[in-house]
Structure 1
Amino acid sequence: MLRAGGHSPWFARPPEKGAPRRVFCFSFAGGNASTYRSWQALAGARAEICAIQLPGRADRLLEQPLEALADVVGAVAREINLLDPAPFVVFGHSLGALLAFELARLLQSAGLPLPEHLFVSACDAPQRRRPLRRVHDLPADQLKSVLQEYAATPPAVLANDELMELVLPAVRADFRMAFDYRYRKAELLRIPITVLAGCDEHDPDALEVTMWREETQRGFKVHWFKGGHFFILDHDRAIVDSVLGDWSAMAQSHAVTK
């Protein structure tokens, strides 16, 4: 399905032909592509920011949300493969990091063009994930309380009952997706991994952070940011600079050692 303008609904804005390089971004559970609305201005000509828009939110609000991670990853892999070739990386925050990780694995196993780097933000290493609460089955009022606790949903949205009725199906689908995810061993990724973590969520030596190193054959790095699980909302400039800086630095290092 294409939008009226002829581009895929999976991208918040149509990717430009001839882009020098691209950053594909997945948001957190219950989030949408607007998480990355400031990134293009911050990236400038250094890269094109391609925020992924899942069904059931924003301008795809009336579409049925997807509950299976494999369905999302498979669809995004197909969409990326349809674009004109350009170097790219994948970034994801929280649930989005799991989507980014499994997308990279799928592309590698299918023999498709790989991202040059994987960036995982505010997400436990998949083999070290902490147990999740079964919040996707909660009544609407209790689920709204959970969202209020997470403090990532604007209060005006939480206070609008009609809007919440439209939004909650995607929220439930995302939380179910995260709850149902099961890590499986596979070939180590042939690309570097950078982890972004919040100082208030993890200790510097937390295995949930450091065990991401076990998923790659290439380079590994960790960046720490002030804040908790949603530090991404307060450090957009620093995160964009870290992503583009690490991408360039590790790509040059890999080219030298080939």
Structure 2
Amino acid sequence: MFIDTHAHIYAQQFEKDQEEALQRAFEQGVNKIYLPNIDHTSIDGMLEVEAKYPDNCFAMMGLHPCSVKQDFEKELYLVEDWLNKRPFAAVGEIGTDLYWDKNFYEQQAEAFEIQVGWAKKHQRPIVIHCRESFQETIDLLKPLMDDKLTGVFHCFTGSVADAQQVIELGFYLGIGGVATFKNGGLDKVLPEVLLEHLVLETDCPYLAPVPHRGKRNESAYVPLVAQKLAEIKGVTVEEVAQNTTKNAEKLFA
């Protein structure tokens, strides 16, 4: 059994074959899929998927850093309202992003700190996006840590030293398609990281693993990531599946 800890299966890229894509995932043994929110535009679609597949698909609630603009307070009111209304698997995806736009970093940092506060209040894990802003995000997170706060650094692509920082905070590393890329760099990092610190993800429809690189990603490809991880670490796919599933279940418990 596999768990996809990060999938945008509600995205418009799946509007024609969402059901078929989910069935393919289930056939591959991926029977739990966690859905990170983006902003107000993604909530309805995400909750519809969860309602259709309540035993397999689990919604998170948060504001993605790329959706943090001048009026981000309005978006945050909506997130807070939903978090107070019903339980969610996690607060996410939240964080910072210095890849697409550097103009709103201060607002991103503020939105991140506010949402971490809500995660603590509701005792939920956080799912962190930190593209081109790993160290900045670690520096924001450290003063907010307490003994209950946990989560995952989604789409981890950092160094061994970066991985160590995440592990020391008690967080997991989200490993996806980049692990299969020839120059992704994770082949040098993952041998140094114990399986007990890793969870699997796709970030579909983005970052499809080899041999589907450049095409639409989907949750059915989680086993391809697991196979590559097994190869890199010199263990069986079964060991990867067992460990990463246990970690994901602990994370979202």
Shorter-chain TM-score bucket reads: 0.3 to 0.5
TM-score normalised by structure 2 residue count: 0.40
Larger Rg: 1
